[in-house]
Each structure stands twice: as C-alpha cells, then as structure tokens.
Amino acid sequence: MTRSFRALCASALCTGAVALAGCGDDDSAAEAPATTPAATTSSVDFAPITSYLTDHTARLTTATGELVGHAQAYADLAQRAGADQLLEGENAAQTKQLVADMQRSWQAANPAYEEMEGIVAGVPSLASYDNILDAGTSGEDPENAVPFDLTYADGTVLKKPGNYFFLTETSLWGSEPKFTIQGTEPDLNGDGKVEYGEALPLPEHILAAAKGFDDQAKKLAKDAAAWQPTESDVFNAVVVMTPTMAEYFEAWKNSRFVAGDKASEASFIGASRLGDITGILTGLTVIYDGIEPKIATQDAQTAEQAGENLDSLLDYVEELRDAEDDGRTYTAEQADTYGTEAQKRAEAIAGQVSQAADALNIELDG
C-alpha cells in the first residue's frame, strides 16, 4: 500500500466527516451537563499502543538479526565452496539447512512487522519505514520508490531496487531469478523434483539485503521507542490504514496462493497476503481500544459500534486465513467478492472514526 494512496484515503474520509454530537437548539445546548466539555478532552490511553509497538520492533529485530547470521554463513559457504558447488557432496546438507533457516527467519519477521504495520504506516513520523521495509517499489515507479540503493560486497549497486521484504522474499523463494543462483537444480526438500519456491539465493544479494533489512529494522525500533504519540497520530492510523482492504485482496488474488502458476505477484510466497491483512487489522484493534474511550465522550453508541465493526472485520479475514491454512483454495472471483465486502466494512469503520476525529477537533494528516 503506497503512502500517497493512504493519504488520499484519509483526505477523502475527512472531507466527508460530520460531527457525531447531536444537533440540538440553543436551549438544549445550555442544558448539557457541565462535565461534558471536560470529558471531551479526556486523553487516549497510549501505553498499550506503545508497548505493542516496541514489543513488535523487538520481535522484528530479533528475526532480522537471525536472518543476517544465516545469510552470512550461507555467503561464507558459497565463497569457500563456490556457488556452483553448494549442492554438491558434503555442502548440500549445510546449504539446504541454511536456506531453510533463512526462510524461517523471514517468516518470523513477516508477522512481527505486519502486526504493527497499522501503526508504523499510519503514523506520519514513522511512515517512511513502511516504504523502506514493506511497501516501497523500485525506481520504475518514482512516486512510490524506496529511497535507497542496495550495494553488494563486490561493489555492484542496485538503484532503488524495492523494499526489503521484497528483496529478501523473492531471493529466498526464487520468484525473482536475478536474485538467485542460475544453472542449478535445487531440489531442497529432497522429493526428487524442483518445484516453484525452491531456489538458491544469490549469496551476495541475500547478504546485502539481509543487512540492509536489519539496519532499517533497528532504526525503526529506535524511533519507535522515542515516539511520543499524539491523538492525531492514533486516529490517523485507523482512518488511513483500515480502508486498504481492496488493494490487499487484489494482491492476494494475484499471488501464488490464489492464482497458482498464473500469479503475477512476485511477492507473497513465503506468507499469504491474508496473514498480512489479519496482522494489520490486529494492530488496528489495539489502537482502537486506546481511542474508543475518547470517542465515547462524544458518542458512546458510535464508539462501541465502530469497535464491534472492527472486531467483526478482523474475524471475517481470520476465518478466510484459517481456512486457507487448513488447505482451502480460493478462486479469483471469490477473492474479488471477499475483498469487496472487506473494503465496504473497512470504509464504514474509517468513516466513523474520521467523523469522531472531526467532532473532537482532532486533526488528521492529509
């Protein structure tokens, strides 16, 4: 999800926002309880949100640190044995183990980030990390391109190559051939055939990408620990990040999990996009729990309803994810149907929160 699209969503929702408080005449306003203005200024409970964020940045840096260690061992083995000898003789077992270890580290990093993406991408002061780690594109799309180049140990430079999840995933599962060793038959699971997803990462690439990934994860962790959240930050995160379902479901539809051999998405091999969506919504429910009391000072019914709607949306996507984990496959038409429904629900939730922000005089970014 690109930052520009998210900002557009926020702007559209804010434009249509209306006050949640009841519109009475002057007499009814005069009769309002004297405590109402004070209640309206009650603060949001930020502590659970910041704790959730720092817990997830710790999980992320642990996983990226492990990825670097495995990538370094893999690159060292390739240098000693030769990249064309990684699956020969006594090298084969170690090579297969290292590739599996790198994949497991990546699969630990994925939910650690996705579960906090709603905060990271939705908070203006942290949003640049989402571009770098998860959402940024290559230089072919200048508006949404990552702001960095990737440099290999031999001096090779990849100009604005895409985000770090993309750079590592497509190398580890082989969906981007230029990031893999070519001319090999990597039957990594030993079943006698080479299937999609079995690949030998290009050693210099996976090491450089893993190091860059880890470096940025650590920088995020530092900035997350220093973040002083505002009401604008947390309301903005829910308004901007909730109505992103259609794009996420479209990516899922075009991934291997739905499209199979006809997939046009190079990513979403190591983890299904449905897992990403549930992770994002999980983080947003943590934020909403913190802001619900604030919304309730203006309209308790809407505050409760929006929370229930968000929980229901999370349940909806979790059911799809769990069924997929249990072996169910979906068609492109089903993906479109589910995505349309999820987007409709998400827009309603974001609209409710946007209206609440307007009623509470909380300014949203964009």
Per-residue model confidence as pLDDT tens digits over 314-337: 999 999 999 999 999 999 999 999
Looking at 227, 243, 262, the residue that finishes a domain is 227
Q: Answer yes or no: is 19 within a domain.
A: no
| Identity of residue 52 | Y
Task: Give a yes or no: residue 283 inside a domain.
Answer: yes
* pLDDT at 41 (0 to 100): 43
- Rounded to whole angstroms, the Cα distance separating 294 from 299 reads 9
Range among 14-28, 159-173, 267-281 rated most confident: 159-173
pLDDT digits 0-9 by tens, 34-57: 333 333 444 788 999 999 999 999
CA angle 286, 167, 265 (to 5 degrees): 80
Per DSSP, the three-state class of 201 is strand
Residues 254 and 348 in one domain: yes
| Residue 261 pLDDT class (50, 70, 90 cuts) | confident
Residues 175 and 258 in one domain: no
- What is the pLDDT at residue 366? 57
Averaged pLDDT of the chain: 88
Residues 186 and 276 in one domain: no
Question: 197 and 237 in one domain?
Answer: no
Those residues with Cβ within 8 angstroms of residue 117's Cβ, 6 or more apart along the chain or in another chain: 130, 134, 241, 276, 279, 280, 283
Residue 19 has pLDDT above 50, yes or no: no
Three-class secondary structure assignment of 306-360: HHHHHHHHHHHHHHHHHHHHCCCCCCHHHHHHHHHHHHHHHHHHHHHHHHHHHHC
Give yes or no: residues 181 and 252 share one domain.
Answer: no
Residue 2 has pLDDT above 60, yes or no: no
Cα distances (Å, whole numbers) of residue 326 to 173, 297, 329:
22, 43, 9
pLDDT of 12 above 70: no
Of 227, 253, 275, the residue at which a domain comes to its end is 227
* 16, part of any domain: no
Instruction: Say yes or no: 210 and 290 in one domain.
Output: no
- From CA 153, how far away is CA 24, in angstroms rounded? 69
Same domain, 108 and 202: yes
Q: Is the pLDDT of residue 264 over 90?
A: no
d(C-alpha 64, C-alpha 105), whole Å: 7
- Taking alpha carbons only, the member of 139, 138, 136 closest to residue 127 is 136
pLDDT digits (tens, 9 = 90+) for 216-260: 999 999 999 999 999 999 999 999 999 999 999 998 998 888 878
Parent domain of 257: 230-366
Distance in angstroms (rounded) separating the CA atoms of residues 227 and 123: 10
Residue 23 falls inside a structural domain: no
Q: What percent of the chain has pLDDT over 90?
A: 76
Q: How confident is the model at residue 196 (pLDDT cuts 50, 70, 90)?
A: confident
Q: Which residue has the higher pLDDT, 103 or 27?
A: 103
> Would you call 161 exposed, middle or buried from its count of C-beta atoms within 10 A (0-12, 13-18, 19+)?
buried
pLDDT value of residue 194: 82
Pairwise pLDDT comparison (69 vs 272), residue with the higher score? 69
Domain end (from 227, 252, 285): 227
Backbone CA torsion sign across 128, 134, 136, 139:
positive
Q: Are residues 253 and 189 in the same domain?
A: no
Q: Which helix (H) or strand (E) holds 227?
A: none
Q: Residue range 53-80: average pLDDT?
A: 98
- d(CA 70, CA 339) in angstroms, rounded, equals 37
Number of folded domains in the chain?
Answer: 2
10 Å Cβ neighbour count for 180? 20
Q: Kindly state whether residues 349 and 361 are assigned to the same domain.
A: yes
Residue 271's pLDDT is 82
